[in-house]
Amino acid sequence: MSGGLTSLSFPKNAHAALANPPLLKAIAHIEETLVSGRRRAAEALPEFEALRDAGRDIKAHTLAHLDLYLEAFERKVVEAGGFVHWAADAADANRIILDICQKAGARRVTKGKSMITEEVGLNAYLQANGIAPVETDLGEYIIQLRGETPSHIIAPAVHVNKEQVAADFRRVHTDLDPKRNLDEPTSLLAEARGVLRERFLSADVGITGANFLVAETGSTVIVTNEGNGDLTQILPKTHIVLASIEKVVPTLEDVATIMRLLARSATGQEMSVYTTFSTGPRRAGDPDGPEAFHVVLLDNGRSAMLGSEFEDMLRCIRCGACINHCPVYRSVGGHAYGSVYPGPMGSVLTPSLQGLEKSAHLANASTLCGRCESVCPMRIPLPKMLRHWREKEFERHLTPKKARFGLAAWRFLAARPRLYGLATRLGAWGLARLAGRDGALRQVPLAGGWTRWRDLPAPEGGTFRTEWAKRGRK
């Protein structure tokens, strides 16, 4: 993957993020844009909750018969004149794509926005092999210029402000007038359009992801708001789609159902601006389209999730709603997670894809508040799965020793009610005495994590159980 996995230093990353005011200001906008957008869209559609059930059921059904639908999809792609390649892991996918590019004699490829290419680290791989990838989604283009990874799955540059973008454009687009105005988002957009237009026309291969693969027709579907996906896949002679296996759905009807959930959950739009279906290469009589059409189907750990306690995660349609509503993401942004996919969905998916040892903090860095599940269009039980990862950590003794010890001590006491009663009585009495008349403690031994930021309200004195017993009650 690109950028390297830094999930193990999550607390350090989070600390840096919390000391970065422009970043905090940028992610604060998620509330008034994406979160309120989703709320309005969901409230405006009476059948929204029923649609969530339907979406969940379509995905659950497909996952139960994934092999059949993937094979059906493959047959239809081939019938339409395209090629299907099966990639077991990231290295396979990269090699297959490079091979197609080299056979097409490609020097430059354009790319539609695709998290899956981030997952396999395609850009770095192509570059290392002499092929220049150009991101064409505005957000992706910006972070490519900045040498960063996306900090959000649908708003990759959500952490960047317009002044930073202007500076990046001046730094990279050195052939343009240094005095041009780049103060407004519209002028930034116009500049990016101008630069990208030339890139679109000169690309040899276009690479996109897919929001859906349709088994009944062999179509791949992408949704964008900028139309960059269309130019990426229509103009070059070769179009490569890289998609993970769980993107398949049985029918076009199913696409229609889930699409009603996707944009509403993501941005609050009823639909994304562009929805594009691709079926095979250009046919005789088609006004445009690629001469060659390849679909690379990526597994990369997903088939191992089937039948496991993490299977439900494969229903994810990458809308980002869980991320937008996560109090932890909203505090530190996406890069702190140090993984390709941030937020709740990322914390569930990353250990599956990269191994638990490399992603230890992710499942723990959640208050389990459950807001993610409450907005997930596919009703994925994210808190439950975060807890499953914590269980696996505990089983494999990956939980830090200190936490394990504390838990064992607690467990020992809680299983011995008399001893527990004595310990809590002493503790409550001691803390109340320590607080004196203050009612709250500014510092408590062994509770630095609490008192660094907030006072600890003092216990009232006696425990409830002793006070209750004093009254002669049972």
Partner 1 sequence: MTTPKPRVALFVTCLVDFFRPTVGFSAVKLLEDAGCEVSVPAGQTCCGQPAYNSGDRAGARALAEQVIALFEGFDQVVVPSGSCAGMIKTHYPDLFSGEPNWRLRAEALADKTHELTSFLVDVLGVAPLPVTFEGTATYHDSCSGLRELGVKDQPRRLLSAVDGLTIKEMHDPEACCGFGGAFCVKYDEISNAIVDRKVADVRTTGAELLLAGDLGCLLNIAGKLKREGSSVEVRHVAEVLAGMTNGPAIGETRK
By the criterion CB under 8 A, which residues form the site for partner 1?
11, 14-15, 18, 327-328, 330-332, 364-371, 373-374, 387, 389-395, 399, 403, 407-408, 410-411, 413-415, 417, 420, 424, 427-428, 437-440, 442, 447, 449-450, 452-460, 462-465, 467-469, 473-474
Residue closer to partner 1, measured from CB, 120 or 375 = 375
Tell me how crowded residue 461 is: count the other CB atoms within 10 A of its CB. 13
Beta partners for residue 249, in sequence order: 214
**7 contacts 335 by C-beta, under 8 angstroms:** no
Smallest distance, Å, CB 369 to partner 1?
A: 4
- Distance in Å, CB of 203 to partner 1, minimum: 42
Least Å from the CB of residue 322 to partner 1: 13
Judge whether 337 and 221 are in contact, CB under 8 Å: no
Closest distance to partner 1 from the beta carbon of 230 (Å): 38
23 or 205: CB nearest partner 1: 23
In the complex with partner 1, the residue whose CB is nearer, 146 or 361, is 361
Smallest gap from Cβ 145 to partner 1, in A, equals 29
Residue 292: phi, psi to the nearest 5? Answer: -125, 140
| C-beta closer to partner 1: residue 1 or 18 | 18
Q: Tell me how crowded residue 344 is: count the other CB atoms within 10 A of its CB.
A: 31
Tokens of 254: 């199913």
Decide whether 179 or 401 has the Cβ nearer to partner 1: 401
| DSSP one-letter string for 346-379 | HHHHHHHHH-GGGGTTTTTS-----HHHHH-TT-
Q: How far is the CB of 299 from partner 1 (least distance, A)?
A: 27
Q: Whose Cβ is closer to partner 1: residue 256's or residue 446's? A: 446
The terminus-to-terminus CA distance of the chain in angstroms comes to 61
How far apart are alpha carbons 104 and 294 in whole angstroms?
12
Q: How far is the CB of 26 from partner 1 (least distance, A)?
A: 15
Q: Which residue has the tokens 């803390």?
A: 431
H or E element in which residue 296 lies: strand 292-298
For the CB of residue 302, give the shortest distance to partner 1 in the complex, in Å. 23
Instruction: Choose between 129 and 374: whose C-beta lies nearer to partner 1.
Output: 374
Q: Name the nearest CA neighbour of 246 among 98, 73, 78, 111.
A: 73
How far is the C-alpha of 61 from the C-alpha of 305, rounded, in Å? 15
Between 163 and 460, CB nearer to partner 1? 460
CA distance 312 to 281: 33
- Please state, in angstroms and as integers, the Cα–Cα distance from residue 378 to each residue in 27, 229, 321, following that order: 24, 25, 11
